[in-house]
Amino acid sequence: MKALAFLFFIITSSGETWKIVIPEPTWSPLKVKIKSERRELLPELLSLLEFTEFYLFDFEGKSDFEITIKVEEREAIIEIEDFSGKKKTSFVCNLNDPSFSEKVADRIVEETMGIKGYFTSRLVFVSDVKRNKELFTMDIKGRKVEQLTELKKTILGVRAEAECKWISFTLLTGGHSEIYLWKEGKLERFITEPGFKTGLSLSPDGLLAVYTGLENGEPKIFLKDLRSGKSSVLIPSRAPEVSAVFSPDGRKIAYVSEKPGSPAIYVFDMEKKSSERISYRSNYCTSPTWSGDGLFLAYTCLDPTGEMNIYIYEFKNKTERRITGDARSNESPSFYPYGHFLAFTSNRTGNYEIYITDIWGKFLKKLTNSPSNEYEVVWCGERQ
């Protein structure tokens, strides 16, 4: 045992300098001390920061960070001091700002964790709270709910740009479907040609669009050049193909193909013009979505138990793993664009509600709690 411990503890001496190797940190919350000249500013801020599970405020010993909030007339000066002594940041926030706590919490998370815009991010989702399936938006704690559409029809196939500069969706109207684009508060019909069309995704440069259309009565992935207006089938195949989504760099497209006999996740390389199968662990997978850095793909698969679960594919290791389980259906995953967190819908408590988790499925928060069903969530973040 002692010999093993010694091997583990690699220590060598060369001259008068010794060397120690620390294997890995403890993955646990950061210890933070926070004090404010005005106590009433703290409860909301602490509740937001505690929500992330990144921080520990009640602890013994030395802290990783010390946060001080000073108040000068209508402004708060927030100082964040790293225990390393190598970094001290301060910023000013208007006390009358209705998003004061969110903005301060955002900046604290950014300075201490490197994750941007977490609390000012928005979730766009479909809800049947008003009988029809309309588009809504809310903040990360399930508050500040706003209705975006009132089309009195059924919305599905929701996609959005990372910062929600555009939101696309499919509207089912009288037996056929139309693709709409919600952009800067305005709603426009995006593809005017007749026929079944769904699941629009725009390339990051906004010059290309992929969507599902019909060819000889079978669903196929179409690519539309938005400059010329010309559309063509992107991936020639005999199998039905749907749910195409551009990767964050626009070089790849994730989609669902029935090539193996049942729906599976594939990735099409725009340069090599070739496809690679991603999902193998289930015979029925759908709804692929990219992480903001393009390192992960999340999708929903049907397990032998009859439950839908969220799976994560890691491109670096070419591995897929399930992050939800034993809790009825979990669907419609969507990554937070600037971090490794996901929003998804689940009916684990009866009706479909919105939850957030991390890519390991360890962190879990329920955001909505309504008698209605919430579907098709998309997470947008504003780059700070």
Partner 1 sequence: MNPYIYIPSITFSFLLHLLLFMALSIFPEQKFNSKGYPYAERVITVSIFRTLPPSGGGGKGKIGEEVLKGVKGIDEIPAKVENEEISFEEAIRGILGEGNNEGMTSYAPSYFEGIKRNIMKEWNLPEGVKEQLKGLKCVILLRMRRDGEVLEVKMLKSSGNELYDLSAIRAIKKAAPFSPFPIGIPGEEIEIEVEF
Residues 246-275 touching partner 1, rule: CB under 8 A, are none
The residue from 51, 57, 83, 284 that contacts partner 1 (CB under 8 A) is 83
When binding is defined by CB under 8 A, the residue of 3, 39, 40, 86 that contacts partner 1 is 86
Residues 6 or more apart in contact with residue 180 via CB below 8 angstroms:
168, 169, 170, 171, 187, 188, 189, 190
Interface mask toward partner 1 for 318-357; x: CB under 8 A:
---------------------xxx----------------
Specify the stretch interacting with partner 1 by CB under 8 A; choose among 93-101, 113-121, 298-306, 372-380. Answer: 113-121
Which residue's CB is nearer to partner 1, number 118 or number 246?
118
30 binds partner 1 (CB under 8 A): yes
Helix or strand (DSSP H, E) at 128: strand 122-130
- Report phi then psi at 350, rounded to 5: 125, -80
> Cα–Cα distance between 330 and 126 in angstroms, integer?
15
**Contact between 61 and partner 1 (CB under 8 A)?**
yes
Is 317 a binder of partner 1 (CB under 8 A)? no
Q: Which of residues 126-165 bind partner 1 (CB under 8 A)?
A: none
CA dist list (Å): 46 to 49, 99, 167, 205, 373? 5, 14, 32, 39, 30
Positive or negative, the CA dihedral 163, 104, 114, 346 is negative
For tokens 């919490």, name the residue.
105
Distance CA 210, CA 202 (A): 7
The H-assigned helical ranges of 35-99 are 42-52
Alpha carbon 314 to its chain centroid, in Å, reads 15
User: CB of 191: closest distance to partner 1 in angstroms?
Assistant: 36
**Residues 234, 361: Cα–Cα separation, whole Å:** 34
Please select the residue that binds partner 1; options are 1, 3, 18, 175, rule is CB under 8 A: 18
Nearer to partner 1, 61 or 304 (CB): 61
Q: Shortest Cβ distance from residue 11 to partner 1 (Å)? A: 5
3-state secondary structure of 145: coil
Per CB under 8 A, does 19 bind partner 1? yes
Residues that bind partner 1 (CB under 8 A): 5-6, 9, 11, 13, 16-23, 25-31, 52-55, 61-62, 64, 82-87, 113-115, 295, 339-341, 358-360, 362-363
